[in-house]
Structure 1
Amino acid sequence: MAAPPSVTASTPAAAPAAADRAGNGGPLLALLAAPAAMGVSGPTLALPQAAHGLAVSSASASWLMTAYGIGMAVGTPLLTAAGGRRGPAGTVRAGAALLVLGAALALTAPNLPLAVAGRALEAAGAAGLNVAAFQLADRDRTGRAPGLVAIGSAMAGAGGLFVGAAVAGALGGSLGGSLGWRATLVLPLLSLLVLKPVLRLAGRAVPEDGPGRGPRPRTAALPLPLDVLRDPGFRTAAGLVLALSTVNFALLYAAPRRAAALTGWTDVETGAAASVASLLGAALSWPLIRAAPGLGAHRVRLLLAAGSLTAVALASFPPWAAMVLAGQAASSLVTAGGQGLLTGAATGRLPETRHGTAISLFNLAFLLGVAAGPALAEALTGAGPGPGPGP
């Protein structure tokens, strides 16, 4: 597909200005992408209420979580392709439309299958907004704007557990007790609060054809993005972010259970401690992002890989809960920092017209880790679905 062009052939000087605007919009883009991550963890503590409200078992209600992950993985390439001809602005509009449609279905569904369908649609839309955020942030060649997006997503994912619990508690008495748990299913709607300013940013960064402007650069459509997949820089970045993501989400599920087993904490206490650890790790990734240009790409990759291996060792072997949570924090640090830094590495050797495709595939690699991590943790340790409440 034709990736989002940010400049025209007749205005090459526009590139630095577009990059500056995207860089300055880093916090805004983080606010666009963060609620998508909140949708992953937000409903966790409300699943028993959802199971009761939908008259299903807690195990069946967990499909509300599974469907979201599947929706994001499927929505990432589909929403990028759907909005590709209009650049990031088209992806934002398509993502917002699916998000609203899916949320409306999740809020009103009378049974589990329809609620699951709503969550999948909502997740596909949220994935589109996430991709658009990284597409716009990619114009900041310092890597700081992608870093802010990644940090914002990591912090929202870690904090979503408590946002969801607070929402469920505050609204639990409304509409016969169903509004509370239903509201936790639609936390990604918070992205719509910044929709208008993001569309303005996308419109400035991606000029439309018109009087006085040169034609948009086009590339021939490929059945498969083989040019991107063959690029060594992309393969290295995507492979590393897949590994970092898999480890991070495996620890997100397994580390809290190990900490609870070592301490006897309740599920809520364990979730609180685990969220604080993940939030701290995500916040501490910012110094790594700032230092990365001076370290060089090779050293950064080594640091990320070493940090992830250290996180596994800390979470798996020491018999102290503090060390287990330190491992989770370390994994959050390298994953949040790595997602931002490796976005630039994934596109750096490719022509600009292929950046959109590369970013889409890069984010898909990350989402595959989101899905694979918990399954791997369960296979290796017998860990359950995480620190949320039991059946």
Structure 2
Amino acid sequence: MTAPAVALPARTRGDGPVLAALAAPAAAGVSGPALVVPEAAASLGVSVGTAAWLLTVFGIGMAVGTPLLTAAGRRGGPGGTLRVAAGLVVAGAALALFAPGFPAALGGRALLAAGAAGVNVAAFQLAGRDPTGRSAALVAIGSAAGGTAGLFAGPAIAATLDWRGALVLPLLSLLVWGAIRGGLGTDAKASGGNTLAAGALPTILRSPAFLSSSALMLLLSTVNFGLMYAGPRRAGELAGWGAVQTGAYAALASLAGAVLSWGLVRAHVRWWVLAGGGAAAVVLAAGGPWAWVVLAAGGLSSLVTAGGQGLLTGRSADGLPPGLRDTAVGLFNFAFLIGVAAGPALAASLF
């Protein structure tokens, strides 16, 4: 038998904006280097295609770190997850900033990503305890906003300080955590207790709601993060913009999509609306003749991805026992993160 779910603290329902602020810098780590890859390649003495692994390895690190940090959450609650995540973020940032050479920068990004995964896991697990689903939607919007803001923050930091600064944006999550620490009840154990009951994983993997939600999230995430890498580059080439200007416009377009995704959540749109939006974004980004069309495609992808994450996080656990909800949410998030890794790698190979 599974342990009973922990009662939801009364104030947790109002913590969505705070949890969104916690998750946003972690997501910015995905896109921060997107427009400084050529500069990184020149500095590190590798090809642009090789340097693109600074984006891909972040997605891989988050995908690997998610189940590991989810396990830490089962032992010590979200607070335990955040403590482990903080150590990984600091270690990864130090390596990425100060160790010379491409392998060291790549290793630092991997550690940083594992820590960012922990921040993401804790934010979504806490948000998932809000039965209204609104906290999860706000965290999804915050995560999308952070990812899009990284498109501008990365080039801006590179232009004013150094390109390596674009690699370590998840450090800002630690500032947010320091400001809110102790205010969220993060040390409450996850609803599944310290261990998973026998048969818990097969139960989740047999759930039609979990499988369909995760498959759609994987598709949307792959498209979104592929376009986050390739879309701004194509828009910049079409318009003749520099990296900072391109990042600013791309960030504004994607941020608008992330904010508008709240409307999709409130409307409880059907799955085919999300899938159709992702497909349309690919067509517009690949074939659009003007920069503004390509940027609009990025905004559309951000809209359906953030909306999908907000809607599908709760749906992925529909019909499951309360004790399996946190684990289902963690596995659903894992599908999202596979797309974070696959999108840039696929885009780099195609474009």
TM-score using structure 1 length = 0.80
Which residue does 1:69 correspond to in 2?
59
Provide the rounded CA distance (Å) in 2 between the counterparts of 1:181 and 1:222: 48
Q: CA deviation at 1:126?
A: 0.7
Of 145, 158, 164, 2:154 maps to: 164
Offset from partner CA, 1:282-328 (integer Å, 9 cap, x none)? 11111222332xxxxxx432322232233234334453433332222
Of 133, 146, 156, 2:136 maps to: 146
SS in 2 for 1:141: coil
Provide the rounded CA distance (Å) in 2 between the counterparts of 1:265 and 1:170: 18
Q: CA deviation at 1:32?
A: 1.2
Provide the rounded CA distance (Å) in 1 between the counterparts of 2:38 and 2:298: 26
SS in 1 for 2:155: helix
Q: CA deviation at 1:71?
A: 0.8
Taking every aligned residue pair, what percent have the same amino acid on both sides?
A: 58
Moved more, 97-106 or 198-207: 198-207
Contact 1:79-1:127 at 8 Å conserved across structures:
yes
Provide the rounded CA distance (Å) in 2 between the counterparts of 1:32 and 1:93: 13
1:170-189 aligned at under 5 Å gives the runs 170-171=160-161, 180-189=162-171
Provide the rounded CA distance (Å) in 1 between the counterparts of 2:42 and 2:291: 33
Provide the rounded CA distance (Å) in 1 between the counterparts of 2:106 and 2:181: 29
Contact 1:233-1:347 at 8 Å conserved across structures:
yes
- Would the alpha carbon gap of residues 320 and 163 (structure 1) be closer, same or farther in structure 2, given more than 3 Å must change? closer
Which residue does 2:281 correspond to in 1?
311
Q: CA deviation at 1:219?
A: 5.6
Provide the rounded CA distance (Å) in 2 between the counterparts of 1:76 and 1:220: 16
Contact 1:218-1:353 at 8 Å conserved across structures:
no
- Would the alpha carbon gap of residues 375 and 99 (structure 1) be closer, same or farther in structure 2, given more than 3 Å must change? closer
SS in 2 for 1:347: coil
- Structure 2 residue 220 is matched with structure 1 residue 247: no
Instruction: Give the AA of the match of 2:172.
Output: L
Of 307, 324, 329, 1:337 maps to: 307
Provide the rounded CA distance (Å) in 2 between the counterparts of 1:53 and 1:318: 32
Which residue does 1:89 correspond to in 2?
79
TM-score using structure 2 length = 0.89
Of 236, 240, 250, 2:212 maps to: 236
Instruction: Give the AA of the match of 2:173.
Output: S
Instruction: Give the AA of the match of 1:160.
Output: G
Provide the rounded CA distance (Å) in 1 between the counterparts of 2:103 and 2:256: 37
Provide the rounded CA distance (Å) in 2 between the counterparts of 1:302 and 1:168: 40
- Would the alpha carbon gap of residues 315 and 246 (structure 1) be closer, same or farther in structure 2, given more than 3 Å must change? same
Provide the rounded CA distance (Å) in 2 between the counterparts of 1:61 and 1:94: 28
Provide the rounded CA distance (Å) in 1 between the counterparts of 2:75 and 2:273: 37
Which residue does 2:270 correspond to in 1?
300
Which residue does 1:118 correspond to in 2?
108
Instruction: Give the AA of the match of 2:302.
Output: S
Provide the rounded CA distance (Å) in 1 between the counterparts of 2:334 and 2:148: 20
SS in 2 for 1:280: helix
- Would the alpha carbon gap of residues 63 and 316 (structure 1) be closer, same or farther in structure 2, given more than 3 Å must change? closer
Q: CA deviation at 1:61?
A: 3.4
Of 352, 366, 371, 2:341 maps to: 371
Contact 2:35-2:233 at 8 Å conserved across structures:
no
Instruction: Give the AA of the match of 2:175.
Output: L
Provide the rounded CA distance (Å) in 1 between the counterparts of 2:343 and 2:44: 28
Q: CA deviation at 1:160?
A: 0.8
Which residue does 1:30 correspond to in 2?
20
Contact 2:92-2:109 at 8 Å conserved across structures:
yes
Contact 1:6-1:207 at 8 Å conserved across structures:
no
Which residue does 2:173 correspond to in 1?
191
SS in 2 for 1:200: coil
SS in 1 for 2:316: helix
Q: CA deviation at 1:233?
A: 1.1
Which residue does 1:155 correspond to in 2?
145
Provide the rounded CA distance (Å) in 2 between the counterparts of 1:255 and 1:54: 24
Q: CA deviation at 1:218?
A: 6.2
Which residue does 1:290 correspond to in 2?
266
Q: CA deviation at 1:69?
A: 1.8
1:92-111 aligned at under 5 Å gives the runs 92-111=82-101
Provide the rounded CA distance (Å) in 2 between the counterparts of 1:134 and 1:204: 12
Provide the rounded CA distance (Å) in 2 between the counterparts of 1:44 and 1:309: 22
Give the number of aligned pairs: 351
Q: CA deviation at 1:86?
A: 1.8
Which structure 1 residue ranges, 5 or more long, are not aligned? 8-13, 172-179, 209-214, 293-298, 384-391
Provide the rounded CA distance (Å) in 1 between the counterparts of 2:80 and 2:123: 12
- Structure 2 residue 346 is matched with structure 1 residue 356: no
Offset from partner CA, 1:140-177 (integer Å, 9 cap, x none)? 12221111111111111111122122222332xxxxxx
- Would the alpha carbon gap of residues 373 and 57 (structure 1) be closer, same or farther in structure 2, given more than 3 Å must change? closer
Which residue does 1:259 correspond to in 2?
235
Of 172, 182, 198, 1:200 maps to: 182
Q: CA deviation at 1:124?
A: 0.2
Instruction: Give the AA of the match of 2:329.
Output: I
Q: CA deviation at 1:227?
A: 1.2
Offset from partner CA, 1:12-51 (integer Å, 9 cap, x none)? xx43xx2x42221111111111111111121234444544
Structural RMSD (CA): 2.8
SS in 1 for 2:132: coil
